[in-house]
Chain A
């Protein structure tokens, strides 16, 4: 296995030969290298079950979770390369500085719920929240952020929040009890206009979230309407949104 070793100033791929056992995933191999050959090989992980989004890397050039990439999906003996996700500054080996995402998270306007029912409870129907739950599945692996060319190639990090945050806003907006308008935010601060719907983000999402089709496109379409305050008010009042395209 060829693993990237190095820091922000320099680095290169180093080759490790490792015995593998049945059922191993890439993360297991990394751990074996740490335990037996390179104790200081830096990588992140927590759950080893695709739930925490810590172990993002580029495996054979593709952004993936190391813990969900089984070794038997590669041809026997073929070299496998493991590199850090490229869109973020490197700290060391497979670990990058993802603080950009945490900074963006701070800018999203939070929920503002309408008052509860007279008995003090909130009522929501399962159908109304099913769509939002799709977006809540996000494990913040930031692979979609990594692969989005606006961030990766053009480095428009200041103007652009990225796909992870578009679906976050979509989830807040679709919340049946929310009363806030985030149109301005999405257009100006989050820079949704820069997205040209290449769907690369959707392709890499390990949670299978339809980031573009169910999140970004409806939001782009809505923008026009939402500038009309009467339409917006009516929608909020009825708690309704147009169906996703």
Chain B
């Protein structure tokens, strides 16, 4: 059959799939441990989502607020996630984030400073104190560039524009990953004693999204295929403020930093509507009137925080309700006003990218005009189920960190907690993957017949007799998920979505593309479609299962938060080719942590 294998083969101790913040940090750690390490990514190096992050990295550095500490950060994170978070992950995250930020500084990152020369921190939704280390509104760029430089300095092998498609499992252990070079279409087999998945999320399944073409849920799907569990898939975060106009920029993110720096949300009638949407859970710590909210920006000790900075799920739902009630802006959003609240030079200094972005893309000068914003799909809280300390999945030798992993953020992520999550668990993933590889004495086996079967499958879209267009299927999926599995859900709609996904899966089997294997985006889209459909199905199934409203998951037919559901995860796994789900109890939280949650201001 295939005379000369149509593939490159390489062997490593640790293969890190994904070169965003989590992946690069993992590779740096693995390399520092002496492991032969590969870092693989679909795009060019340094272009992952992490580069787009704007607002900042959450860490209780205590530079601005002495009162802040890991315990307060832990409490905010757990409350933000409506207590469904893995408490151990939230604890490790809060404890280790400050060290990870300071280490970035040692590697050359230049954060904005306090008057005495320390790292400045800014306010973000759901965080009790100003806690986000940032560089204007381009923190992600600073972070990824710093990590990228560090990886280059350490001489890590970077395999760019290389898409992984399947994980190889031998006798219950991970053995490698198989994929292709985008530039040539040639196949690649990476044997690895340990694999770290750091492939990010799946927001490309929705129509209005802040995510790029890369976010097709590859890591989640590969893990599921390899036998790992996914959890919390029903929790998909809609960021309250995406651009809504003009249509072609719909979904592009407007950082929460705008509100942190004084911007307020208003409806068509000029009303600051957020005060009407303060949930009981956050009432004690949220200002219920404009005067107090405004005072809070100046004096945070004696006033409660503004309702504009409630956690994202609350704000997104509120905006949604305003629009539904006919009080939205002309293009179907609401208004975000910073121009009447802050002087022009302050806005340009604190929010330079936002200024630039609105000016260039929408022709709006945000120092003079209000922005129009609305919810946009942003982040998947769910993902690969991992052990909190080691980040190992339920498959031996398979680790996961960053957005691809589940558990850390519970039902709703606080802004800024992702970048810190990447650093904390990226490092842990790299460390434990390296240790795992050291312990492994056996040989890495790869079944030739299996590899050839995968290769054949990946080439099918070139030779099929069908005539479906992968872009059209993707667009139809996005439409269905947006309409039926969005911010507000009902069982009827979710079931309808499932039927649509089934039909799209059938159509995906008939995709046929033209052209050759060299840099062919049609082919790449056809392959990405498989993981996109799988993740869409997982999210929908889990959303049907969770018959309550909590965090980012709002069921119109079950509007209440249910205490019983507060003790359980929805776990998804694959058995005999079909997706199954179970409800499994959360691990019990130790009493001393529970105490931290109850401690009130």
- A residues in contact (CB < 8 Å) with B: 7, 21-25, 28, 34-36, 39-54, 68, 70, 91-93, 95, 97-98, 102, 105-106, 110-111, 113, 121-126, 129, 132-133, 136-140, 172, 175
- B149 near A110: Cβ-Cβ < 8 Å: yes
- A23-B245, A93-B519, A125-B117 known; A45 vs B138 contact (CB < 8 Å): no
In the assembled complex, how far is the CB of residue B134 from the closest CB belonging to chain A, in whole angstroms? 12
Q: Which of B47, B106, B516 contacts A122 (CB 8 A)?
A: B106
- A21 near B248: Cβ-Cβ < 8 Å: yes
Q: How far is the CA of A68 from the CA of B361 in the complex (A)?
A: 7
- B45 near A47: Cβ-Cβ < 8 Å: no
Q: Which of A36, A52, A129, A138 contacts B110 (CB 8 A)?
A: A129
Q: How far is the CA of A126 from the CA of B153 in the complex (A)?
A: 27
- A47-B52, A126-B112 known; A39 vs B145 contact (CB < 8 Å): no
Q: How far is the CA of A105 from the CA of B158 in the complex (A)?
A: 13
Interface size class of B (residues with CB under 8 A): 35 or more
- B357 near A34: Cβ-Cβ < 8 Å: no
Q: How far is the CA of A11 from the CA of B520 in the complex (A)?
A: 16
- B519 near A91: Cβ-Cβ < 8 Å: yes
The chain A residue sitting closest to B253, CB to CB, is: A49
- A35-B471, A46-B43, A46-B213 known; A111 vs B107 contact (CB < 8 Å): yes
- B247 near A22: Cβ-Cβ < 8 Å: yes
| Sample (5) of A-B pairs whose CB atoms are under 8 Å apart | A23-B246, A68-B361, A123-B118, A126-B112, A132-B110
The chain B residue sitting closest to A99, CB to CB, is: B160
- B357 near A102: Cβ-Cβ < 8 Å: no
For B113, list chain A residues within 8 Å (CB).
124-126, 129
- B105 near A137: Cβ-Cβ < 8 Å: no
Interface presence of B475 (CB below 8 A)? yes
- B51 near A47: Cβ-Cβ < 8 Å: yes
- A93-B519, A110-B149 known; A133 vs B248 contact (CB < 8 Å): no
In the assembled complex, how far is the CB of residue B471 from the closest CB belonging to chain A, in whole angstroms? 4
Q: How far is the CA of A24 from the CA of B471 in the complex (A)?
A: 19
Interface presence of B459 (CB below 8 A)? no
- A34 near B360: Cβ-Cβ < 8 Å: no
Q: How far is the CA of A106 from the CA of B157 in the complex (A)?
A: 12
Q: How far is the CA of A47 from the CA of B252 in the complex (A)?
A: 8
Interface residues of B in 514-528 (CB under 8 A from A): 514-516, 518-523, 525
Question: Which interface residue of A46, A50, A129, A136 has the most chain B CB atoms within 10 A?
Answer: A46
- A21-B247, A91-B518, A123-B117 known; A68 vs B44 contact (CB < 8 Å): no
By Cβ-Cβ distance, the 10 closest A-B pairs, closest first, are: A23-B246, A40-B515, A39-B522, A123-B117, A35-B471, A42-B519, A92-B519, A46-B212, A126-B113, A40-B520
Q: How far is the CA of A107 from the CA of B31 in the complex (A)?
A: 19
Q: How far is the CA of A54 from the CA of B361 in the complex (A)?
A: 17
Interface presence of B46 (CB below 8 A)? yes
The chain B residue sitting closest to A122, CB to CB, is: B105
- B residues in contact (CB < 8 Å) with A: 43-49, 51-52, 102, 105-108, 110, 112-113, 116-118, 135-136, 138, 141-142, 145, 149, 152-153, 158, 160, 183, 212-214, 245-249, 252-253, 353, 356-357, 360-362, 469-472, 475, 513-516, 518-523, 525
In the assembled complex, how far is the CB of residue B476 from the closest CB belonging to chain A, in whole angstroms? 12
Q: How far is the CA of A145 from the CA of B153 in the complex (A)?
A: 22
For B51, list chain A residues within 8 Å (CB).
46-47, 51-52, 139
In the assembled complex, how far is the CB of residue B41 from the closest CB belonging to chain A, in whole angstroms? 11
Q: How far is the CA of A23 from the CA of B360 in the complex (A)?
A: 10
For A140, list chain B residues within 8 Å (CB).
46
Further pairs besides A46-B43, A129-B113: 15, Cβ < 8 Å: A23-B245, A39-B521, A42-B521, A45-B213, A47-B52, A48-B249, A49-B52, A49-B249, A111-B107, A121-B118, A124-B113, A125-B113, A133-B110, A136-B145, A140-B46
For A93, list chain B residues within 8 Å (CB).
519
For B523, list chain A residues within 8 Å (CB).
40
For A22, list chain B residues within 8 Å (CB).
246-248
Q: How far is the CA of A123 from the CA of B110 in the complex (A)?
A: 11
The chain A residue sitting closest to B108, CB to CB, is: A111
- A51 near B138: Cβ-Cβ < 8 Å: yes
